């Protein structure tokens, strides 16, 4: 592509020079391009090298007349890339001197051989014009040169057209190959994505299967041992709320497995004071079935049943009878260490009581009536200290 570009610029310059020669046969003009904002004369820039070679040939042919002052060399410097007119003129002057220096060094010309004029605007180049008288032989030589250059331009144009056509076909072929490669890569990526999705799905299924197997193994180990640590699946229970009311309470729980437990609690007390005018006595038995929740098996839900007798006289009227009922329980066990934990529980349900009312007159208990009562709401509560046996 660089070679093609250089050829085009050469053809353009030659066409321009030939046009000038055809219009003014006494003048020969050569154009030297400069990089904008630069004052250096780059011989290899644009087509400066070709123009300089042609200029040297012309100077060589008319060197005696130029040195004698008969044929002037006109140098016009142009600059339009600076900030103002003064800067443009200064830059144009430097550029004109650069081109003249090449002729002074290469062709041994002197400053007296040049007629120099600098201009602000018009581009970034230096034009060198030599006005020479043309004889018949020179005119024929120039005509022959023009014909040769025209044929050369036509040949180069044909080669350029073929090169452009070849490059276009090459680009089209490369574009087709890139399109095919992109299509292949897209299909490959899609295939890899499908394989990765299948592999991820397989690994997820494998992890799920392994997790299920581990859970079953843990569950089986717990079922065999009775609890997670492998101790005796029995626990003693002490309801601290009952003990705080001076009502001894004791319970026993059997953990069939980590999720299920069977429990029974019993309470008994008998107090009298004030020469037996005041009395507080009762006994209760409360069996319960529980289902423990979660991974740590701390929370639970369950069902309980309660039966017992009571006899209390805390005022002028005493009540004595029996009770029974049941309800749903729920709570949470707070682990203190491997052997001890606190069980916070609450039961909600219904209690039914049949009782007799009585008064004491002259030291004799006198029956005053019979009644029964149903209670809906909380029927049991506890803050129980649990001691796992075998720990």
Q: Which of 117, 134, 151 is the last residue in one of the domains?
A: 134
**What residues make up the domain containing 270?**
234-388
Give a yes or no: residue 205 inside a domain. Answer: no
Higher-scoring residue by pLDDT: 150, 85: 85
Domain boundary among 134, 164, 184: 134
* 35-39, 218-222, 258-262, 301-305: range with lowest mean pLDDT: 218-222
Q: Is the model's pLDDT at 22 over the cut of 60?
A: no
CATH number of the CATH domain containing 266: 2.40.160.20
Q: pLDDT at residue 10 above 70?
A: no
Split at pLDDT 50, 70, 90, the class of 139 is low
In a domain, 163, yes or no: no
Q: Based on the domain organization, do 122 and 250 belong to the same domain?
A: no
**Comparing 106 with 223, which gets the higher pLDDT?**
106
Same domain, 10 and 128: yes
Q: Is the pLDDT of residue 315 over 80?
A: no
Q: Mean pLDDT lowest for which of 114-118, 307-311, 376-380?
A: 307-311
| Mean pLDDT calculated for residue range 128-132 | 88
Task: Verify that 105 and 242 share a domain, yes or no.
Answer: no
Please indicate, yes or no, whether residues 384 and 269 belong to a single structural domain of this protein: yes
Can you give the pLDDT at residue 275? 64
pLDDT tops 70 at residue 175: yes
pTM: 0.41
Whether the predicted pLDDT of 133 surpasses 90: no
Residue 109: per-residue pLDDT: 93
Give the end of a domain, one of 114, 134, 154: 134
Q: How confident is the model at residue 9 (pLDDT cuts 50, 70, 90)?
A: very low
Q: What is the mean pLDDT of the segment spanning 335-339?
A: 89
Residues 252, 380: one domain?
A: yes
Going by their DSSP bridges, the two strands 73-79 and 114-120 should be labelled as: parallel
User: Is residue 67 one of the residues assigned to a domain?
Assistant: yes
Mean pLDDT of the chain: 84
3-state DSSP of the chain: CHHHHHHHHHHHHHHHHHHHHHHCCCEEEEEEECCCCCCCCCCCCCCHHHHHHHHHHHHHHCHHHHHCCCCCEEEEEEECCCCCHHHHHHHHHHHHHHHHHHHHHHHCCCHHHEEEEEEECCCCEEEEEEECCCCHHHHHHHHHHHHHHHHHHHHHHHHHHHHHHHHHHHHHHHHHHHHHHHHHHHHHHHHHHHHHHHHHHHHHHHHHHHHHHHHHHHHHHHHHHCCCCCCCCEEEEEEHHHHHCCCCEEEEEEECCCCEEEEEEEEEEEEEECCCCEEEEEEEEEEEEEEECCCCCCEEEEEEEEEEEEEEECCCCEEEEEEEEEEEEEEEEEECCCCEEEEEEEEEEEEEEEEEEEEEECCEEEEEEEEEEEEEEEEEEEEEEEEECCC
What is the predicted pLDDT for the residue at 223?
Answer: 52
Which of 36, 55, 62 is CA-nearest to residue 124? 36
CATH code where residue 124 lies: 3.30.1330.60
Task: Give the model's pLDDT for residue 251.
Answer: 93
For residues 374 and 140, which has the higher predicted lDDT (pLDDT)? Answer: 374
Q: Output 209 or 279, whichever has higher pLDDT.
A: 209
| Model confidence band, residue 138 (pLDDT cutoffs 50, 70, 90) | low
Residue 167 counted as domain residue: no
- For residues 256 and 380, membership in a common domain is answered with yes
Question: What number is the average pLDDT over the span 45-66?
Answer: 91
Q: Is residue 217 part of a domain?
A: no
Q: 195-199, 307-311, 381-385 — which is least confidently predicted? A: 307-311
Give residue 269's pLDDT: 86
Each residue of 227-285: pLDDT tens digit?
444 456 899 999 998 888 888 999 999 999 988 999 999 998 887 777 666 777 788 99
Q: Are both 121 and 254 inside the same structural domain?
A: no
Amino acid 285: pLDDT: 93
In a domain, 201, yes or no: no
Give mean pLDDT, residues 283-294. Answer: 92
Per-residue pLDDT band for 209 (boundaries 50, 70, 90) equals very high
Q: In 3D, which of 300, 344, 306 has the Cα closest to residue 327?
A: 306
Is residue 380, in this structure, part of any structural domain at all?
yes
Q: Is there a single domain that holds both residue 99 and residue 239?
A: no
Query: Does 161 reside within a domain?
Result: no
Of 48-62, 211-225, 237-251, 330-344, where does mean pLDDT reach its minimum? Answer: 211-225
Of 267, 214, 157, 228, nearest in space to 390 by CA = 228
My answer on whether 130 and 246 are in the same domain is no
- Cα 161 to Cα 335: distance, rounded to the nearest angstrom: 93
328 confidence band (pLDDT: 50, 70, 90): very high
The pLDDT assigned to 247 comes to 86
Number of structural domains found in the chain: 2
120 and 243 belong to one structural domain: no
Give per-residue pLDDT as tens, 71-118: 999 999 999 999 999 999 999 999 999 999 999 999 999 999 999 999
pLDDT (average), residues 3-23 = 45
Does residue 127 sit in the same domain as residue 241? no
pLDDT at 12: 46
């Amino acid at each position: 592509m660089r070679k093609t570009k250089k050829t085009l610029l050469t053809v353009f310059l030659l066409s321009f020079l030939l046009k000038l020669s055809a219009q003014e046969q006494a003048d020969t003009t050569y154009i030297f391009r400069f990089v904008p904002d630069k004052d250096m004369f780059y011989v290899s820039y644009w087509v400066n090298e070709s123009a300089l070679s042609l200029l040297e040939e012309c100077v060589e042919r008319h060197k005696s007349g130029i040195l004698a002052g008969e044929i002037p060399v006109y140098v016009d410097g142009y600059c339009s890339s600076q900030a103002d007119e003064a800067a443009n003129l200064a830059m144009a002057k430097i550029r004109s001197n650069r081109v003249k220096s090449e002729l002074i060094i290469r062709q041994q010309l002197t400053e007296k051989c040049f007629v120099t004029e600098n201009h602000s605007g018009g581009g970034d180049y230096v034009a060198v014009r030599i006005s020479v008288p043309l004889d018949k032989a020179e005119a024929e030589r120039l005509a022959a040169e023009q014909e040769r250059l025209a044929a050369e331009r036509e040949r180069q144009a044909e080669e350029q057209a073929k090169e452009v056509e070849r490059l276009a076909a090459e680009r089209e072929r490369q574009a087709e190959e890139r399109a095919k490669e992109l299509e292949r890569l897209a299909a490959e990526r899609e295939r890899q994505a499908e394989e990765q999705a299948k592999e991820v799905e397989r690994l997820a299924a494998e992890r799920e299967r392994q997790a299920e197997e581990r859970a079953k193994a843990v569950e089986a180990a717990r079922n065999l041992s009775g609890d997670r640590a492998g101790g005796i699946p029995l626990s003693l229970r002490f309801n601290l709320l009952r003990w705080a009311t001076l009502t001894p309470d004791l319970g026993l729980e059997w953990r069939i497995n980590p999720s299920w437990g069977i429990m029974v609690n019993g309470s008994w007390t008998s107090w009298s004071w004030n020469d037996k005018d005041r009395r507080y006595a009762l006994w209760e038995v409360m069996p319960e079935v529980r289902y423990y929740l979660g991974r740590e098996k701390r929370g639970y839900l369950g069902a309980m049943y309660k039966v017992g007798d009571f006899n209390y006289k805390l005022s002028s009227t005493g009540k004595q009878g029996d009770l029974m009922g049941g309800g749903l329980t729920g709570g949470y066990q707070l682990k203190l260490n491997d052997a001890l934990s606190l069980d916070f529980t609450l039961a909600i349900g219904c209690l039914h009581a049949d009782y007799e009312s009585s008064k004491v007159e002259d030291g004799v208990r006198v029956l005053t009536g019979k009644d029964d009562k149903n209670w809906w709401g909380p029927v049991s509560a506890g803050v129980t200290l649990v001691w796992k046996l075998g720990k």
